[in-house]
Structure 1
Amino acid sequence: MGSFLGTDSTLSVCFRYHKIPRNPYKPNHFTGGSSSGSAAAVAAGLCPVAIGTDGGGSVRIPASFCGVVGLKGTFGRISCHGSLPLSYSTVSAGPICTSVADAAIVYSILAEPDPLYPYGLKQPKATLSGMCAPDLKDLKLGVDWTFFKACDAEVLSICEKAVEYLRSLGASVVEVFLPEMEEVRVAHAICILGEMRDFLQPDFNKHFQEMNLDTRANLALASQFTALDYITANRQRTRSMRFLQEIFTSVNCILTPGVACTAPRIFESDLLTGSNDLSFTVRSIRFMQLGNFTGIPGLVVPIGYSTAGLPISFQVMAKWWDEAVLLRIGLKLEQFRCQTKKPSIYYDVLA
C-alpha cells in the first residue's frame, strides 16, 4: 500500500529511510506520490499489479508519471482495511497495472463488500458490463474546457487529440461547467490534512524531531485548522456532490488530463532534504482532488510522451459505482496511443 496524499512533501518520512524512488523512464525524475514505489515497480516490469491508496492522487499521479494505468475506485468500492487510516474520508484503494484489461481483472476481484470495512458494505454489485463494446456511440463525455486547459502545452496538445479520438468513436463531447473548484481545492486540503494530523498525533508529539522539515510544516499547518474549518469543508463536499449529481444527469463521464505536467527532475538537494515545491504540488493534484473529495471514481491511462520522453496520461471520471464505463473508455484510449516506449529501466521477469 502507498500512503495517502499525492504530494512529494508527505513522502519525506519514507524518503528519510528508503530514499527517493526513481522513474523507470528517466531515473533522474520523480515518480510522483505517494504510491510511488508501486507505480515504479509496475512500470519497470517487476510485478504486473500493485495496489495503491489514493487520497489526493496517490494512485493516479504516480501511474501518470510512470506511464502505467491507475484506477481510483469509488469511495468504499475496494476495501482499505489493513492500510493506515491516514485520511478516512478521502482515500480510495485501486490497482496500478500495465494495461486497462489487467486493471479490470484486478478491479473485478477486489470490488466487493468487506465486513471489516464499513464504508463499502452497501455498494451495488460490481460489473464490467459493456466494457468491450466496439464503439462509444451511446456515451456523452463532459469537458470543462477552462479547467481542462490548465496544463502544460505538450500535455494539452495530446489530451485534446485524445478527446477528438473518443469523439471519432461515436461519443458526444458535451461542454460542462465544474463549479467552485477553488473551494474544492481548499476544502479537500482541510479534510485530508486535518485527518492526517489527527491520526499522526502520537507521532507528531513523540517523533517531531525525526520528521523532515516539510512534513513538520504540513502537520503544523493542519494543527491550525479549527472544527469550524472542518465542518465548512464538509458542507462544501455536500455542495460539490450535488453539483456532480446534476452534471451526471447529462453526461456519462468527465474528461481531464491526468496530471498537468510530466514528472519533474530530481535535484541533488532533493536526495538530501526531500522536495517541497508547493506550486508543483498544487499543479500535480489539480485534476485529482475532485475525485477524492466527492468519492467519484477516476482512471488514468497513458496516451503518449513528451519530447523529453516522459509519459503523459489522460483521466476519465464517472459517477459513483460506474467504474465499468471508465474501463470501457480506457480500452479505447489505449488504441489511441499509437506507440509504446519501454522504460529505460525494465526487467523482463519472464524471460
Structure 2
Amino acid sequence: MTELHTLTASELAPLLESKQLSPVELTEAILNRIDQIDSSIHSYITPLHEIALQQAKSAEAEIANGLYKGPLHGIPIGIKDNFDTKGVRTTVGSKILAEQIPEQTATAVEKLLGAGGIMLGKLNMHEFGGGLTNTNPVYGHTRNPWNLHYVPGGSSGGSGAALAAGLATLTTGTDTFGSIRVPAAMCGIYGLKPTYGLVSTKGVAPLAWSLDHAGPMTRSCSDIAIMLDYMAGYDPRDPASIKAPLPDYRSQLNKDIKGLKIGVPSYFLDGLDPDIEKLFHNAIRTFEQLGAKVTEVSIPELTLSTFAGYVITTGEAATYHFNWLQEHLDDYARDVRIFFQAGAITTTPQYVRAQQARRTLVKAFKKAFEHVDILAAPTIPITTPRHEDNWVEQNLEITRRCMPFTSPANATGTPSLSVPMGLCSNGLPTGMQLIGNHLSEKLLLQIGHAWEQTLKN
C-alpha cells in the first residue's frame, strides 16, 4: 500500500470522504513521521500534536455524520510560523518573538481550518523572512530532505522541506522576493505566489508591506488549486486585499495547452548554471511538443527589478523593525541584521525611485502580455547549494543571485507558479516559474498541470 505521507490532498480527499481513511489515522501517520525524522530536518518550530489530533477527531466525527466540508476536510496542513495562530506561539523564526502568543488567527489560516484542515504545527522559516537559505541559529538550520547537506531555500524553507519529506500534506508560505518559489524549486515541490492582494495577509507578520504575498505550497498543481479555492478572496481587514471574481481554480486543470503562447524573456537566459540552462531548454521543447507556441521576448525593463525589489524590501523592513533594531540589535541573526540595516540607510529619493522603477516594470509586463499568454523562466539561476559554515555570507550571495529571477513578479504583483523542472547533476531538484498577467492563476495552473503530467510519464 502507498504510504499515507506520500499522497497528495487530491488523492487523500476521496478516501476521507468515502470513509476508507480516517482523518485520525492520517494525522497520526504524519505526526509519527515528524517524531521520527524532523530532528534532522528542522522543518517545524512548534509541532502541535494535541491540537492536530483534537482537530482530526472532530473532522472524523463530522464526516461520519455526513457533514463532509470538501477536499480539505481532514487534510493535515503545516503553517509557516509568520501566520498568526490564536493561542499558539508565532515566532516569525526569531528570538525576539520567541514567546509571542497571538490573540487572533491569520485570515488565510482561518479559511483553511474552517474548511476542515488539520493544523500539524508551525513551520521553520528564515528569521523575519529575511533570507533565501532557511538558516536559523535559534530554531535550527532547516535541511533539504533530498540531501541533508544542502539548503532547502527560504524563507518558507520549513514549508518546502516538510512537503518534500512527507511531514505535511499541504503547507502555507509567504513570498516578498521569492520566499515561496525558491524553496519550491530547491525542494522539488509546487509553490504559487498569487496576484498581489488575492490572498489576505491579515495576521501575517510583514517583511515589506507593498511586496508581501501569502500563498499555497503543495506536491501537485491540483493541490495548489484546492488550497487557492479556499485561501483567495477579499478581506476588509487587509488594506491590500482586492475585490476580484473568484473562479473555480480546479475547473481547467485537465485542459490541454495547444495554441497557448509562452514568452521566454531573454533576461532570464543570462547567468544560468549549466544544469539549469539544460533543464530549462528541455522544458521549452516539452511545451512545444504539447502544442504551445514558444517565443523569446525582450523586456529590457526587467533589469530594474533587483534595484526596485532590494530597496523597497529593505526600506519597508527597516521601517517595521525600526524600534527593535535600536533595542534588540544583538537578537537578530547576523545575515538578517545586515539586510535590515541596509534598509535603515535607504534615502527617501532612493525609495521613491524604486517605486517609480516598479511602475515602469508593471507597464512593461502589461505590454508583454498583449502578445503572449504567460512568461516562462527558471525559478532560480543556480543549482541548490550545499549548506556552508559561513552561512551569513552564503545567504547574502544566494539572495544576490536569485533575487533578479524572483523579484520581478513581486514588483509587478503578477502571479508566479514554480513547478519542479527536473533533477540537477548534484541529485537535487530545481524549478521553472510560470508568470501570468494579474489574476491569471487559473491559466497558470492549467499549464502547470499539463507540465506535471509530463513529469509522470
TM-score of the pair, normalised by structure 2: 0.69
* 1:217 positional shift: 2.0
Which whole-Å CA distance do the structure 2 matches of 1:161 and 1:256 have between them? 12
Equivalent residue, structure 2, for 1:161: 282
Which whole-Å CA distance do the structure 2 matches of 1:51 and 1:176 have between them? 33
| Stretch of structure 1 that moved more, 149-158 or 208-217 | 208-217
SS state of the match for residue 16, structure 1?
coil
* 1:149 positional shift: 4.2
1:30 matched to 2:151: yes
Which whole-Å CA distance do the structure 2 matches of 1:262 and 1:290 have between them? 20
1:293 matched to 2:411: yes
Q: Which runs of 4+ in 1 moved over 4 A?
A: none
**C-alpha root-mean-square deviation of aligned residues, in Å?**
1.8
Equivalent residue, structure 2, for 1:263: 384
Equivalent residue, structure 1, for 2:333: 212
* 1:306 positional shift: 1.1
Equivalent residue, structure 1, for 2:53: none
Equivalent residue, structure 1, for 2:188: 67
Which whole-Å CA distance do the structure 2 matches of 1:6 and 1:39 have between them? 14
* 1:6 positional shift: 4.6
Equivalent residue, structure 2, for 1:348: none
* 1:275 positional shift: 4.6
* Contact 1:6–1:54 (8 Å) recurs in 2: no
1:7 pairs, out of 126, 132, 135, with 132
Equivalent residue, structure 1, for 2:211: 90
1:201 pairs, out of 279, 298, 322, with 322
Amino acid at match of 1:316: L
Structure 2 residues not aligned, in runs of 5+: 1-79, 81-124
1:316 pairs, out of 406, 414, 434, with 434
Superposed CA offset, 1:27-49 (max 9, x none): 01001110111111111111111
Structure 1 residues not aligned, in runs of 5+: 340-351
* Contact 2:266–2:299 (8 Å) recurs in 1: no
SS state of the match for residue 158, structure 1?
helix
- Identical positions, percent: 32
Amino acid at match of 1:59: I
Amino acid at match of 2:290: L
SS state of the match for residue 120, structure 1?
coil
| Stretch of structure 1 that moved more, 300-309 or 59-68 | 300-309
2:424 pairs, out of 298, 303, 306, with 306
The structure number with the bigger radius of gyration is: 2
Which whole-Å CA distance do the structure 2 matches of 1:126 and 1:232 have between them? 36
1:234 pairs, out of 337, 349, 355, with 355
* 1:134 positional shift: 4.0
| Stretch of structure 1 that moved more, 117-126 or 149-158 | 117-126
* 1:66 positional shift: 0.6
Amino acid at match of 1:105: I
Superposed CA offset, 1:19-75 (max 9, x none): 100100000100111011111111111111111010010000011101100010000
1:328 pairs, out of 446, 451, 457, with 446
* 1:312 positional shift: 1.6
Superposed CA offset, 1:300-329 (max 9, x none): 111210122100211100000110111011
Equivalent residue, structure 2, for 1:224: 345
Alignment: residue pair count: 332
Which whole-Å CA distance do the structure 2 matches of 1:27 and 1:173 have between them? 37
Which whole-Å CA distance do the structure 2 matches of 1:159 and 1:302 have between them? 11
Which whole-Å CA distance do the structure 1 matches of 2:246 and 2:220 have between them? 23
1:131 matched to 2:249: no
| Stretch of structure 1 that moved more, 200-209 or 174-183 | 174-183
Which whole-Å CA distance do the structure 2 matches of 1:71 and 1:81 have between them? 18
SS state of the match for residue 155, structure 2?
coil
Which whole-Å CA distance do the structure 2 matches of 1:185 and 1:100 have between them? 28
* 1:5 positional shift: 4.3
* 1:263 positional shift: 1.6
Structure of higher RCO (CA pairs closer than 8 Å, 6+ residues apart): 1
Which whole-Å CA distance do the structure 2 matches of 1:6 and 1:165 have between them? 33
Judged with a 3 Å threshold, the aligned counterparts in structure 2 of structure 1 residues 243 and 146 are, in CA distance, closer, same or farther, namely closer
* 1:276 positional shift: 3.8
Judged with a 3 Å threshold, the aligned counterparts in structure 2 of structure 1 residues 133 and 99 are, in CA distance, closer, same or farther, namely closer
Superposed CA offset, 1:138-194 (max 9, x none): 311111234234311111111111111111111111221122223221111000110
* 1:219 positional shift: 2.0
